[in-house]
Homo-oligomer: A and B are copies of this chain.
Amino acid sequence: MSLSNVIKYLDKNEAKHLELLFDIIRQKSISATGEGVEECADKIVKMMNGLGIRAKKFKTEGLPVVYGEITSNPDALTVLIYGHYDVQPPDPLDQWLSDPFEPTIRDGKIYARGSGDDKGQFMAHILAAAALKKDGWPDINVKFLLDGEEESSSVSLPKFISDNREMLKADVAISSDGPKHPSGRPVVFFGVRGLLYVQITLEGAKHDLHSGNNGNVAPTPAWDIVRLLNEIFPNNGQCQIPHFYDDVLDATEYEKDLIKNMPFEKEGYLETMNLNDTDMDNEEFWHKLMFEPTVNICGLGSGYQGKGSKTIIPNQAMVKMDFRLVPEQDPNKIFDNLVKYIKNQYPNAKIEKFGVTVPTRTSAELNISKAVVEAVRLGSKQEPVVQPRLGGSTPDYLITKHLKLPSIWVPFANADENNHSPNENINVDDFYDGIKISATIIHKLAQQSKEKLLEDLV
């Protein structure tokens, strides 16, 4: 079999592939409400089997997982492709220019809920595998793990993984979700920052008080929260939660080289931040964004915030914070230390934990990582942006911690995919290119020595 035959086949069958994607998009699969999720799983299983991929719907404690595979022999390299077939609710409906569940092409984009996130992306992998199979399957095993609850925190997936370790056994995971670089260049990334989201509430008097008749003697939770925040994260930019930085791994030399080569445009991105005249260079900028944890205020509120003046001493103050964490910071340990730190001073503080995502890291220096980057370069005919880590947080820990696999992300969607928003879309060409990039990755990995590819994996 030859890759150029496969590419030719893909070029000829674009219309057919688009129609298969449209079929899957038309089937709602909203995990928040459960609407259509079972039916969508059934449809995908049927389609995969029709394309020559043995697939099955698996019950979980929540919504079903779709699992499928094409195997060559047990000793060959095994790639697990992770994706999700559930979608966000389409609200607000009145802001869509066309029916969110009737894919509509305008200006080279497929508009529909799930087009970019993530149906258009996992379908690219399925159609690539099917095309490769038609031409003679290479010496590689490919497994598909399609989550039905990704938009609902994948709550049932850890147990499903632990119940199906043998079936899911693999050497590497490749996933496609999220956007390419705004320039249109493909992106390959190898981990994410984690997240700890908390809300802290301090209270004072039984109700708001007159600021004249009580000023200087009444409790002042607004000042308390200002002082507390300043103590947690003072002017020097060093978070004072005990042990906060203990587990931080700095960038490797290889990673530092990668970020030196990342694009850093003063237009657009920096303009939006009013940072046009920043004196950060791209190394510092990307290091802060990928390799340093954040201590962020998402929301801060106390007292009167309407027009004009109201002379009160507010009896409550609240802050919502998120900490973006880097490997190997442990969000739950940090939460416990934060609680201890605050309670020491404010025993009655109310501290709530709203969310936790474990940070992840796969080395971009691994042979397998470099092989995937090279395949993306070949398949896309563009220089990929190789990004050691995402500033944001995705449940990549499902792969690295639960599946215990090196995890490589190759997003296929355009930067303006509007995921989670009205008028979600994927460029028709980015969908087609995604199929080719996936086919190239599978083909190229199959050509190489498994031992060589995995020799540097511990």
Q: Which A residues have a C-beta under 8 Å from some C-beta of B?
A: 193, 195, 197, 199, 204-207, 209-220, 222-223, 225-227, 229-230, 233, 235, 271-275, 278, 280, 285, 288-289, 292, 294, 296-305, 308-314, 317-318, 320, 322, 324, 354-355, 390-393
Distance (Å) between the CB of A270 and the closest chain B CB? Answer: 9
Q: Who on chain B is nearest to A300 by CB?
A: B302
Q: Who on chain B is nearest to A232 by CB?
A: B226
Query: Is A219 within 8 A of B272, CB to CB?
Result: no
Query: Is A212 within 8 A of B391, CB to CB?
Result: yes
Q: How far is the CA of A391 from the CA of B209 in the complex (A)?
A: 12
Query: Is A275 within 8 A of B219, CB to CB?
Result: yes
Give every chain B residue within 8 A of A212 (Cβ-Cβ): 193, 195, 324, 390-393
Contact among B195, B215, B226, B289 with A216 in the assembled complex (CB-CB below 8 Å): B289
Give every chain B residue within 8 A of A217 (Cβ-Cβ): 273, 275, 278, 280, 285, 288-289
Query: Is A302 within 8 A of B297, CB to CB?
Result: yes
24 CB contacts below 8 A, A to B, read A206-B273, A209-B273, A211-B322, A212-B324, A212-B393, A213-B390, A216-B292, A216-B294, A216-B324, A217-B273, A217-B275, A217-B278, A218-B273, A220-B297, A223-B297, A226-B230, A227-B235, A298-B310, A299-B302, A299-B303, A299-B304, A304-B320, A309-B320, A311-B322
In the complex, given contacts A211-B298, A213-B391, A217-B285, what are 12 additional A-B residue pairs having Cβ atoms less than 8 angstroms apart? Answer: A197-B311, A206-B272, A209-B272, A211-B296, A212-B393, A223-B229, A225-B300, A296-B313, A298-B311, A299-B310, A300-B303, A309-B320
Query: Is B274 within 8 A of A215, CB to CB?
Result: no
Query: Is A392 within 8 A of B300, CB to CB?
Result: no
Q: How far is the CA of A214 from the CA of B278 in the complex (A)?
A: 14
Query: Is A219 within 8 A of B273, CB to CB?
Result: yes
Distance (Å) between the CB of A250 and the closest chain B CB? Answer: 14
Distance (Å) between the CB of A350 and the closest chain B CB? Answer: 14
Asked if A296 meets B215 with Cβ closer than 8 Å, knowing A210-B392, A272-B207, A320-B304, the reply is: yes
Query: Is B309 within 8 A of A297, CB to CB?
Result: no
Residue in A225, A294, A309, A322 with the greatest tally of chain B CB atoms within 10 Å: A309
Asked if A301 meets B298 with Cβ closer than 8 Å, knowing A209-B273, A235-B227, A324-B215, the reply is: no
Q: Who on chain B is nearest to A197 by CB?
A: B309
Asked if A274 meets B204 with Cβ closer than 8 Å, knowing A195-B311, A298-B310, the reply is: yes
Query: Is A298 within 8 A of B292, CB to CB?
Result: no
Distance (Å) between the CB of A284 and the closest chain B CB? Answer: 9
Asked if A301 meets B296 with Cβ closer than 8 Å, knowing A209-B273, A213-B392, A273-B214, the reply is: no
Distance (Å) between the CB of A124 and the closest chain B CB? Answer: 24
Distance (Å) between the CB of A265 and the closest chain B CB? Answer: 13
Q: How far is the CA of A298 from the CA of B296 in the complex (A)?
A: 23
Give every chain B residue within 8 A of A275 (Cβ-Cβ): 205, 217-219
Asked if A314 meets B299 with Cβ closer than 8 Å, knowing A280-B217, A322-B309, the reply is: yes
